[in-house]
Amino acid sequence: MTQTKNILIGQSGGPTAVINSSLAGAIEAAKRTEKIGHVYGMLNGIKGYLEGRKTDLLALSEEELSLLKTTPAAYLGSCRFKLPKDMEDPLYEEIFRRLEEDEIGYVLYIGGNDSMDTADKLSAYGAKVDSDIRFIGIPKTIDNDLVGTDHTPGFGSAAKFVAAQVRQIVLDAEVYQQDAVTIVEIMGRNAGWLTASACLARKYEGDNPVMIYLPEVDFEPEEMLRQIRRRLKERSALVICVSEGIHDQDGTLVCEMSQSVAKDVFGNKQMAGCGKVLEQLIRLRLGIKVRSVELNVTQRASAVEASLTDVEEAFECGRQGVLAALEGKTGCMISMERISNDPYQLAYTAKPVGEISNEVRAVPTEWITEDLADVTEAYKTYALPLIQGESRPPMQDGLPVFLYRDLSKSKQN
Amino acid sequence: MTQTKNILIGQSGGPTAVINSSLAGAIEAAKRTEKIGHVYGMLNGIKGYLEGRKTDLLALSEEELSLLKTTPAAYLGSCRFKLPKDMEDPLYEEIFRRLEEDEIGYVLYIGGNDSMDTADKLSAYGAKVDSDIRFIGIPKTIDNDLVGTDHTPGFGSAAKFVAAQVRQIVLDAEVYQQDAVTIVEIMGRNAGWLTASACLARKYEGDNPVMIYLPEVDFEPEEMLRQIRRRLKERSALVICVSEGIHDQDGTLVCEMSQSVAKDVFGNKQMAGCGKVLEQLIRLRLGIKVRSVELNVTQRASAVEASLTDVEEAFECGRQGVLAALEGKTGCMISMERISNDPYQLAYTAKPVGEISNEVRAVPTEWITEDLADVTEAYKTYALPLIQGESRPPMQDGLPVFLYRDLSKSKQN
């Protein structure tokens, strides 16, 4: 006789376009086995679960599940919450008490670095108290900076959005006959994977964006100015893409370079992005027209232009998470291994999450060109399969339809 | 015997997602009549034409014309150039000398307010010197602020993009359980049409964005803070959309409120948008988490999420421009009149451009709610038909394919 246990799924960390697709994949797999009874979702991650907030995911209809797959952000809500290092902390006892109460046999936690840390600690505590609850981490981050996996769900869609937007920003920037620089600031504080995707925007060799700066190497403002001067001899409109995390050789972030003196009318420090700082530098030093564009949260929230490959892989990661838990694995993260690039093929495995959490995977420096202002063909070969295919949410009245919870009176409930 | 003359088409002012569709419509119509010989495009508008820069648009293949229809920005390049008021200025003689030399019978100028001013002045000069060259303006602006037309090509696509992005930004903003405000800054310095389209993002009554501020009325920072405090009692995450042009009762732009004191490390005045200024105000006064998102040029450059209705109407405006010119009209702008809203139906007419240029059409104040923080149902009824249908550029290797001119060595040619 099969013992039926319930499954609990949580989402954590920053939203992406496909974190809900992983949730949909997990629900789908959980529904197909008799070993799993209830399918619960933590509301606002482990933090919300500790407040007793959970939802019944089996209540979602087939149509709603299909919508969930193409809905961006985090349907269950998210949290930024790190579990204590001390395994004696009463929080662990409290969590496990609730898990026992809800008859949970399997916990899936979808997220980035901190979330993998959560999965790691919970499984460690589980081992300590001899619990048979299985804990599996499902990777998610547009930053693509988790070790132990070829790439992370969420990255492909963000990269596709960035590349398409940069291609369009380039066309926009080139309409006037005038020396001008457009800076595009792209997310990624510690790793330049997403910023590097701007190279995919080029339509021909030598096309804009003419320079791409990643946080993996030191940024030299004077060298950038030299490059701009040189390139302005050949074309009028330059587009330069920079990661929010670029820094000089002393480790000072470019975005921090102006905050020391800039104060606004309210007496606050002006929190400018590095794009704004470079905009001002170029204007002052070169006296030409400059503007900066910060893609901001749109690059992680745009399901309308998501990568179908990414949506499908995120779904499969969720599904594989359930299968791994059913097989008895715990303390693991679902990992994608690229078996072949042409044709593009993946294998899904489960890797010990302790080896993954709290590490940052950077763009290999051999993928950065010698002048430190571009990426090589190797990056393009790596990234191109990940942005293939169009995932289109259903449209109604001209706008995308998403699955959502009505939060208008959330504080009164 | 039909007299064959050439047609000259120019694009001017800021780019939109559909200004090239108008160009494609004009080329299409010009190819279908024997009255027109060559089809020339001014490169970089009237300014480039004065430097002798033009291109042969009949060289475009059918496939290229089809691509042109879904390519954003301005294929021919643009300019910001206002013709002199003085009709005795030798510039006019120079322009007409070139037009005669190129055997131009018809000139189409696609653009916003300043471009309509150009069409107006050229036709006035033409009348003065008894020229039979016909001058027609084709409207274009995401701002939707031209008088004499129900709306302008470019607005529908920008509105659709803004509404879709705001809907996604709202989902992103709502993932955490924490009092927080997200400000979204939207283009439109003098008219709030585009900012108002954020209301279409709402999924249910009372949904985010909870407040929308337009430049048509005075903005009262204290009143905004009161509204935020009140609404935070019901929900944690608030999204507020503001036009870049909002100002207080003295006419001071909110975006100028911080510039007087803010200086960066290079000694420049900090040019913050109004979103950043409000972000700082809210943080200082309410002590809650705030961030601001500036949609920036992406809202006018995104052909990937364009409105099919807009693309088709822009095309038709270009076509109608040629037909009007062939009928002998001059000094006119193609105008769209809404005959019926349900079903949505338009009539295309040609209106004297002198009555249109240099006027700004604002959102009617009766469409703004009494608390000055939202728009009424009337706006929604007006805007909804304009964002219908999906225009999708062809995709290759995961990215949109566009028609472009290789500008990599433009300065050496």
Answer yes or no: do A168 and B301 touch at CB < 8 A. yes
Q: In terms of CA atoms, which chain B residue is nearest residue A208?
A: B408
Partners of residue B47 in chain A, C-beta under 8 Å: 177
User: Of A15, A276, A298, which has the smallest distance from its Cβ to B175's Cβ?
Assistant: A15
Residue with tokens 């809907």: B167
Q: In percent, how much of chain B has pLDDT > 70?
A: 95
Terminal Cα distance for chain B, rounded:
41
Query: Which is more confidently placed, A357 or B118?
Result: B118
Q: How far is CA A310 from the centre of its chain?
A: 11
Answer yes or no: do B408 and A235 touch at CB < 8 A. yes
User: Of B235, B272, B388, which has the smallest distance from its Cβ to A407's Cβ?
Assistant: B235
Q: In terms of CA atoms, which chain B residue is nearest residue A293?
A: B296
What does the pLDDT read at residue A358? Answer: 80
Selecting among A143, A145, A310, A374, the annotated active-site residue is: A143
Q: Does residue B258 contact residue A265 with C-beta atoms inside 8 Å?
A: yes
How many Å apart are CA B274 and CA B240, to the nearest integer? Answer: 12
| CA dihedral sign of residues B284, B286, B291, B293 | negative
Per-residue confidence band for B267, with pLDDT thresholds at 50, 70 and 90: low
Per-residue confidence band for B256, with pLDDT thresholds at 50, 70 and 90: confident
Helix axis angle, B274-286 to B221-231, nearest 10°: 60
Per-residue confidence band for B6, with pLDDT thresholds at 50, 70 and 90: very high
How many Å apart are CA A321 and CA B99, to the nearest integer? Answer: 69
Nearest-CA distance B231 → chain A (Å): 9
What does the pLDDT read at residue B261? Answer: 45
Instruction: Write down the pTM of the prediction.
Output: 0.96
Is A143 among the catalytic positions? yes
Per-residue pLDDT of B54-110, as tens digits, reads 999 999 999 999 999 999 999 999 999 999 999 999 999 999 999 999 999 999 999
Mark the ranges of chain A whose per-residue pLDDT is less than 50. Answer: 1, 260-262, 264-265, 413
Terminal Cα distance for chain A, rounded:
41
Partners of residue B297 in chain A, C-beta under 8 Å: 169, 172-173, 291, 293
Amino acid at B220: E
What does the pLDDT read at residue B358? Answer: 80
Nearest-CA distance A248 → chain B (Å): 15
Residue with tokens 């996604």: B168
Count of all residues that appear for chain B in the document: 413
Residue with tokens 């001017």: B12
Contacts of B367 (CB under 8 A, 6+ apart): B196, B375, B376, B378, B379, B382
Q: Does residue B375 contact residue B199 with C-beta atoms inside 8 Å?
A: yes
User: Which tokens belong to A291?
Assistant: 């503007």
Q: In terms of CA atoms, which chain A residue is nearest residue B11?
A: A175
Partners of residue A306 in chain B, C-beta under 8 Å: none
What does the pLDDT read at residue B413? Answer: 45
Partners of residue B406 in chain A, C-beta under 8 Å: 204, 207
Nearest-CA distance A256 → chain B (Å): 10
Answer yes or no: do B399 and A74 touch at CB < 8 A. no
Instruction: Pick the closest to residue A186 from A113, A294, A339, A104 (CA basis).
Output: A294
Selecting among B114, B117, B143, B374, the annotated active-site residue is: B143
Q: Does residue B113 contact residue B357 with C-beta atoms inside 8 Å?
A: yes
Amino acid at A339: I
Q: Does residue A44 contact residue A12 with C-beta atoms inside 8 Å?
A: no
Q: H or E stretch including B240?
A: strand B237-243
Contacts of A342 (CB under 8 A, 6+ apart): none
Exposed/middle/buried for residue B268 (C-beta within 10 Å: 0-12, 13-18, 19+): middle
Tell me if ipTM is over 0.90: yes
Answer yes or no: do B400 and A164 touch at CB < 8 A. yes
User: Of B264, B291, B407, which has the smallest distance from its Cβ to A262's Cβ?
Assistant: B264
Partners of residue B263 in chain A, C-beta under 8 Å: 261-262
